Amino acid sequence: MPVKDFDRNVFINCPFDDDYRQLLLSVVFTVRYLGYKPRLSIERADSAENRIDKIVSLINESKFGIHDLSRIVSTEENQHFRMNMPFELGIDFGCKKLKGGKWSSKQILVLEKERYRYQKALSDLSGSDIKNHNDDPETLVAVVRDWLVTTERIRAISGNRIWHQYNDFQAFLYDELVEKDGHDSVDDVQVSEIIMLMETWIRDRKP
């Protein structure tokens, strides 16, 4: 069965907790702004579908994969390492290397917080191109933009200009969700709802 939009789909493998929320939104915005389709495991709410099947399906449907390993390290004593992100990176990498056909054209971006920190936990990635973002959404916008532009050989406005557009979108969110809809904070609204508003905003406002 043909995979719809394979060449435009970008699988985003990252945490969905509050701590990462603003980084996630900046990645999704940049991907969407450049005309690609972000694919996240939270997009499908079918509780009958098991999580790993959902992940495998998204990876199978996506030419691109963005994998953020910045949260695999536990921040507190007696906290477990978070292995979902490297596990899903492994599936994506395996798909690229072993499945053949168009899947061998898959492009993978691996992100970390600090340069070289991943090597302590995942030395198999030594020699791979890993980009760091320092937990800064402005940096992340530029990193994702540069990667897509280089990989796809497309022209696009600078990361700084996309960042300014992202800030305009945040003002729009505040007006719509807090002032019009009565939420106490934009942060009270689910990421999937924010992404829907993002798609509308980009469609209507992008120059």
> Does 138 sit near other proteins (CB under 8 A)?
yes
> Does 93 sit near other proteins (CB under 8 A)?
no
Task: Please report how close the Cβ of residue 131 comes to other proteins at its closest, in angstroms.
Answer: 18
> Does 199 sit near other proteins (CB under 8 A)?
no
Query: Binder to other proteins among 161, 183, 189, 202 (CB under 8 A)?
Result: 161
Residue in 47, 95, 86, 48 with CA at minimum distance from that of residue 67: 86
Nearer to other proteins, 43 or 175 (CB): 175
Residue in 98, 169, 85, 174 with CA at minimum distance from that of residue 130: 85
Task: Please report how close the Cβ of residue 142 comes to other proteins at its closest, in angstroms.
Answer: 10
Binding mask 108-137 for other proteins (x = CB under 8 A): ----------------------------xx
SS3 10: strand
List of residues 6+ apart from 37 with CB closer than 8 A: 5, 8, 9, 10, 31
Residues contacting other proteins: total by CB under 8 A: 31
> Does 179 sit near other proteins (CB under 8 A)?
yes
Residue 117, token pair as written in the block: 């920190």
Task: Return the axis-axis angle of helices 137-152 and 21-33, rounded to nearest 10°.
Answer: 30
Please give the single-letter amino acid code of residue 6: F
> Does 13 sit near other proteins (CB under 8 A)?
no
Q: Which helix (H) or strand (E) holds 64?
A: strand 64-68
Contact present, 92 and 108 (Cβ < 8 Å): yes
Stretch of 54-62, 64-72, 82-90, 153-161 contacting other proteins, by CB under 8 A = 153-161
State the residues that interact with other proteins by CB under 8 A: 22, 26, 136-138, 157, 160-161, 163-168, 170-176, 178-180, 186-187, 200-201, 204-205, 207
